[in-house]
Amino acid sequence: MPTAVIHRMVLPEHECPFGRRALELLKENNFDVEEHQLTSREEVDAFKAEHGLSTTPLITVDGKTIGGCSDLEKFLSAHA
């Protein structure tokens, strides 16, 4: 079973819909998922700055960086 790591924004007042969708896609495609929730604005901003991102989520599969939700969709369709 492939392993995926997802870092996604889950704030008290807002859950990123792209992160939620990416998590659903990973589970639907039988990935062993390690989820990391970014639960404060400061944590989200620091994570994006550290990784040079403008948005979340950030997904890796078997140690390879895939990117965000749309990148995951492309990855899954290419490996279907």
Domains of the chain: 3-78 (3.40.30.10)
| Confidence (pTM) | 0.94
| Pairing assessment for the beta strands 3-11 and 58-61 based on DSSP bridges | antiparallel
In the chain, what is the straight-line distance between the N-terminal and C-terminal CA atoms, in Å?
A: 14
Q: What is the mean pLDDT of residues 8-21?
A: 96
What's the confidence (pLDDT) of residue 24? 97
In Å, what is the CA distance from 72 to each residue of 2, 27, 46, 57? 14, 12, 23, 10
Segment 20-67, tens digit of pLDDT: 999 999 999 999 999 999 999 999 999 999 999 999 999 999 999 999
